């Protein structure tokens, strides 16, 4: 018999998808590849033609990468007010590339009905050879308080990032990591590989092994098995193709191949860890992702809309057979110049419902979580949540320091926000066992303080109350690194 939750979740996912496509269609007339018709407005308004766009300050970044992000181009015609409105949109789009500290777009000169436009950017530092020290637990609170900040549960090594390697916003990431996980990884992404700047590509490969493994879930807590020998090893390689015809919409299609192997002791602890009591697996993964983004600032949006829809297929036979449909949408609306409201809705479903343990992870993993339940995981095959928050900007300031060869921006911005928020969610599991958070409505609420600073680093400090009668301070750092 079909659970009630399942009957409502699938229409819910398709409703999110419909909203994403409908909203994207309404924005098509504002993409830079379209020809703008300016029939509106009084006849006495002069129509200006963009004669030339001058780009300055881009020491590393290619000029065509800057021009690709602008919602106007040479030869197009606009009323002056329409064009000025697009200057702010263009500035936001340039900042959201994460290539620049600042971007300024302005009129440069007039000549009759011809105008020139100036685009001035200040580039970030792109190369980061960084010492790498990161806890492996799902979030910082779990590592600090449940694992007592155990250093053995950290990965350390070197992480080398080059976020603009050829000046085309292409990214090369190399990880050489040891500690909890011995891990070597290579990842190269180039957003545009064709002259029309619509198609992109990404390739990656990684290999690693661990002496400790999460073999099961009990009372909504991960259960770990530790050994002096390596319990788990993996390798993964893949390729991804992206298509971005418009400014706000992107499509991605990818294929990966993954191999996994565990020791006998893992299967002894959880016979359903892999299907059929197997100790090793090799299988392909396929996925398609549709993304829509119209946000004022991606790392910390205060205005605009974003959404994502994905179809994921794991395995091609009965041994590994998973289809997953997921969707997420968010909206941000200003109530006053310094106050804004945000809401985020997420839903996911996996079929068939009978899945091995490794395919049951849902709430509490990666970025899919509810505030106030950071110490728990909620496994299942279908789930949804709704988050809402009201945020007030408290102040913004700059810490100034001398300019050097390695620091081209002479100021470090710091912005402080205060928030109140609430969450509601539900996860369905056909056989939850002793995991009592499955198959019930979950709620939480709290207050928070957000610190936004250099290179998109955000630290969220939240005091949250959940329906279990628990409350506490939770930390959520987020960085481009």
Query: Which CATH number belongs to the domain containing residue 95 in this structure?
Result: 3.10.20.310
State the pLDDT at residue 388: 97
Asked if residue 242 and residue 119 are part of one domain, the reply reads no
Asked if residue 114 and residue 131 are part of one domain, the reply reads no
Query: With 60 as the cut, is the pLDDT of residue 420 above it?
Result: yes
Residue after which a domain boundary falls, among 123, 142, 161: 123
Asked if residue 294 and residue 196 are part of one domain, the reply reads yes
Average pLDDT value for residue range 270-280: 86
Q: How far apart are CA 365 and CA 377, in angstroms?
A: 7
Asked if residue 217 and residue 90 are part of one domain, the reply reads no
Instruction: Of 206, 204, 162, 203, give the one whose Cα is nearest residue 184.
Output: 206
State the pLDDT at residue 44: 40
State the pLDDT at residue 13: 55
How many beta carbons lie within 10 A of that of residue 332, not counting itself? Answer: 22
Name the pLDDT band for 30 (thresholds 50, 70, 90): very low
Asked if residue 290 and residue 174 are part of one domain, the reply reads yes
Asked if residue 195 and residue 81 are part of one domain, the reply reads no
The answer to whether position 342 is within a domain reads yes
Asked if residue 410 and residue 305 are part of one domain, the reply reads yes
Average pLDDT value for residue range 325-344: 96
Residue after which a domain boundary falls, among 91, 123, 155: 123
In the chain, % helix, strand, coil (3-state, to 5) comes to 15, 50, 35
State the pLDDT at residue 376: 94
Tell me if 384 sits within 8 A of 368, measured CB to CB: no
3-state secondary structure of 443: strand
Instruction: Of 254, 321, 323, give the one whose Cα is nearest residue 290.
Output: 254
DSSP string, 199-247: EEEEEEEEEEEESEEEEEEETTEEEEEE-SS--EEEEEEEEEEEE-SSS
Asked if residue 133 and residue 116 are part of one domain, the reply reads no
Tell me if 207 sits within 8 A of 240, measured CB to CB: no
Question: Is residue 136 classed exposed, middle or buried when 0-12, 13-18 and 19+ CB atoms within 10 A define those classes?
Answer: middle
How many domains does the chain fold into? Answer: 2
For the segment 87-140, what is each residue's pLDDT rounded down to a tens digit?
A: 999 999 999 998 998 999 999 988 888 999 999 999 988 887 666 677 777 777
Residue after which a domain boundary falls, among 77, 96, 123: 123
For the segment 39-92, what is each residue's pLDDT rounded down to a tens digit?
A: 444 434 688 999 999 999 999 999 999 999 999 999 999 988 888 889 999 999
Query: With 90 as the cut, is the pLDDT of residue 236 above it?
Result: yes
Asked if residue 135 and residue 77 are part of one domain, the reply reads no
Instruction: Of 296, 292, 288, 287, give the one whose Cα is nearest residue 308.
Output: 292
Asked if residue 150 and residue 81 are part of one domain, the reply reads no
Asked if residue 380 and residue 261 are part of one domain, the reply reads yes
Name the pTM for this structure: 0.84
The answer to whether position 20 is within a domain reads no
Going from the C-alpha of 129 to that of each of 64, 81, 133, 306, the distances in angstroms are 27, 45, 13, 32
State the pLDDT at residue 32: 40
Region of poorest pLDDT, from 51-55, 125-129, 231-235, 280-284? 125-129
Asked if residue 276 and residue 297 are part of one domain, the reply reads yes
């Amino acid at each position: 018999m079909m659970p009630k939750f399942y009957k409502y979740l699938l229409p819910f996912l398709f409703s999110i998808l419909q909203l994403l496509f409908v909203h994207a269609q309404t924005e098509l007339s504002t993409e830079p590849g379209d020809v703008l018709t300016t029939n509106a407005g009084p006849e006495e308004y002069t129509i200006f033609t963009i004669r030339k766009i001058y780009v300055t300050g881009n020491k590393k970044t290619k000029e065509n990468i800057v021009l690709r992000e602008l919602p106007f181009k040479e030869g197009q015609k606009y009323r002056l007010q329409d064009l000025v409105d697009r200057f702010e949109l263009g500035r936001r789009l340039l900042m959201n590339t994460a290539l620049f500290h600042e971007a300024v777009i302005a009129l440069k000169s007039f000549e009759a009905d011809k105008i020139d436009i100036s685009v001035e950017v200040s580039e970030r530092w792109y190369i980061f050879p960084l010492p790498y020290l990161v806890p492996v637990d799902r979030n910082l609170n779990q590592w600090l308080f449940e694992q007592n900040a155990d250093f053995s549960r950290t990965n350390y090594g070197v992480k080398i990032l080059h976020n603009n390697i050829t000046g085309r916003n292409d990214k090369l990431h190399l990880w050489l990591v040891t500690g909890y996980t011995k891990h070597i990884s290579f990842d190269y992404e180039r957003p545009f590989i064709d002259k029309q700047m619509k198609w992109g590509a990404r390739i990656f490969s990684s290999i690693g092994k661990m002496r400790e493994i999460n073999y099961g879930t009990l009372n909504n807590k991960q259960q770990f098995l530790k050994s002096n020998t390596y319990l788990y090893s993996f390798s993964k390689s893949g390729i991804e193709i992206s298509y971005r015809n418009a400014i706000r919409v992107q499509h991605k299609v990818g294929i990966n191949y993954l191999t996994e192997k565990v020791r006998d002791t893992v299967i002894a602890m959880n016979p359903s860890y892999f299907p059929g009591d197997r100790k090793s697996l090799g299988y392909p993964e396929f996925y398609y992702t549709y993304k829509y983004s119209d946000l004022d600032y991606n790392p910390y949006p205060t205005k605009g809309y974003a959404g994502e829809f994905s179809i994921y297929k794991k395995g091609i036979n009965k041994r590994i057979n998973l289809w997953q449909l997921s969707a997420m949408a968010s909206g941000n609306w200003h109530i006053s110049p310094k106050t804004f409201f945000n809401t985020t809705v997420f839903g996911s479903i996996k079929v068939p419902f009978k899945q091995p343990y490794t395919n049951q992870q849902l709430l509490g993993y990666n970025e899919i979580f509810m505030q106030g339940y950071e110490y728990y995981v909620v496994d299942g095959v279908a789930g949804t949540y709704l988050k809402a928050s009201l945020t007030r900007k408290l102040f913004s300031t700059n810490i100034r320091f001398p300019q050097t060869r390695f620091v081209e921006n002479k100021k470090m911005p710091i912005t402080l926000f205060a928030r109140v928020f609430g969450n509601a969610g539900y996860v369905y599991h056909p056989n939850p066992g002793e995991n009592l958070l499955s198959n019930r409505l979950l709620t939480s609420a709290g207050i928070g303080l957000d610190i936004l600073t250099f290179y998109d680093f955000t630290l969220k400090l939240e005091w949250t109350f959940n329906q279990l009668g628990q409350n506490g301070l939770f930390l959520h750092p987020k960085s481009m690194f």
